[in-house]
Amino acid sequence: MLVNSRENEIVLITGGAGYIGSAIASTFASYKSKLILVDFDKKNLDRVKQKLNKKYKITIDTFLCDLSNQDMVNNLCQNINKKYKKIDTVINSIGMVGTDDMQGWNEKFENQSFDAWNKCMQVNLSSIFFMIQRIHKSLEKSKIASITNISSIYGVVAPDWNIYENTNINNPAAYSISKAGIVHMTKWLASALAPKIRVNAVSPGGVFRNQQKIFVKKYIDKTLLKRMAIEDDIVGPVVFLSSTSASYITGQNLIVDGGWTIK
Ligand SMILES: NC(=O)c1ccc[n+]([C@@H]2O[C@H](COP(=O)([O-])OP(=O)(O)OC[C@H]3O[C@@H](n4cnc5c(N)ncnc54)[C@H](O)[C@@H]3O)[C@@H](O)[C@H]2O)c1
């Protein structure tokens, strides 16, 4: 088995200020990889950078960018391509998620809006596609190039409405459909970018974030491993798929859900 050290590997993480993105960043920081974190949340981006700098004393570049904005994506990619001779690893953890407060988003079917739908497609799908389109030449310069996209179990199965009953949590159609889009975009990109760049997806189940008790109970009842996920459950599979241990894996979707989707 070919396992390389990940020291000095150049790792770009979108959504790097988020819960899962920053947990992935922290693991790569512990390997002494060189991190490029992209997000539009300045406060959290600065906080993650400071924390990892202090703990691991490594090089971290942060880019503040709304990845749903084409001009900003163009700018970002120009800067990154200029600054880095190559990129080894891209992890896409960006996402318009359930907690976003846009009107017409976390709503029942009847109230889901056209604008929230379009925004979701831009954030969850177009952002990743057009960023990769603009940086793939830099990835091709790496001998270990890979892209790992974070989808969701809802990109694979339809919601069980029972777990949402009597809660303030919804399951917007655009979220699921964009996440299914990520699974297919992963295959499309894997075929378009082979053999130089491997492209895979990881589809997490629900991560525990102090959701309403009634939701958590019903969620756990449906899960073979009898708990919701924690961020670190997602990190390992992402680290694996982006490593040389997975050098013969491309176009795949690894479901990380405690067994939720097998029933
Ligand atoms: N939390 C879960 O239960 C769960 C389950 C399955 C899949 N996922 C997926 O995992 C990924 C990470 O989720 P998370 O739980 O860490 O959520 P999160 O909200 O903490 O992370 C998402 C990050 O994306 C950033 N972002 C959003 N829109 C952006 C934009 N336009 N430009 C730049 N950055 C933007 C946010 O600022 C945030 O830092 C997402 O793709 C999410 O859909 C999460």
Q: What is the pLDDT along the chain (263 residues), one digit of tens a residue?
A: 445 799 999 999 999 999 999 999 999 999 999 999 999 999 999 999 999 999 999 989 999 999 999 999 999 999 999 999 899 999 999 999 877 889 999 999 999 999 999 999 999 999 999 999 999 999 999 999 999 999 999 999 999 999 999 998 999 999 999 999 999 999 999 999 999 999 999 999 999 999 999 999 999 999 999 999 999 999 999 999 999 999 999 999 999 999 999 98
Q: How far is the CA of 2 from the centre of ligand 1 (A)?
A: 31
**Residue 114 located in a structural domain:** yes
* CA-proximal residue: ligand 1, atom 39 (nearest): 18
Q: Are strands 253-256 and 34-39 parallel, antiparallel or unpaired?
A: unpaired
CA distance from start to end of the chain: 33
C-alpha span between 145 and 163 (Å, rounded): 39
Q: Which domain holds residue 249?
A: 10-159+170-208+230-262
**Residue 2 located in a structural domain:** no
C-alpha span between 210 and 7 (Å, rounded): 35
Q: How far is the CA of 243 from the centre of ligand 1 (A)?
A: 22
* CA-proximal residue: ligand 1, atom 1 (nearest): 207
Q: How far is the CA of 97 from the centre of ligand 1 (A)?
A: 6
Q: Which two tokens stand for residue 217?
A: 């109970």
**Residue 258 located in a structural domain:** yes
**Residue 121 located in a structural domain:** yes
Q: How far is the CA of 1 from the centre of ligand 1 (A)?
A: 33
pLDDT at 100: 82
C-alpha span between 105 and 111 (Å, rounded): 8
**Residue 177 located in a structural domain:** yes
Phi, psi of 90 (to 5 degrees): -120, 130
Query: Residues lining ligand 1, judged by CB closer than 6 Å?
Result: 15, 17-21, 39-41, 44, 65-68, 93-97, 123, 150, 152, 204, 206-207
Q: Is 148 helix (H, G, I), strand (E, B) or coil?
A: strand
Q: What is the CATH number of the domain that holds 17?
A: 3.40.50.720
pLDDT at 210: 94
Whole-structure pTM value? 0.97
Structural domains counted in the chain: 1
Q: How far is the CA of 11 from the centre of ligand 1 (A)?
A: 18
**Residue 53 located in a structural domain:** yes
Q: Which two tokens stand for residue 64?
A: 């503040």
158 within 8 A of 176, measured Cβ to Cβ = yes
**Residue 175 located in a structural domain:** yes
**Residue 224 located in a structural domain:** no
Core vs surface per residue 126-142: b (16+ CB within 10 A) or e: bbbbbbbebbbebbeeb
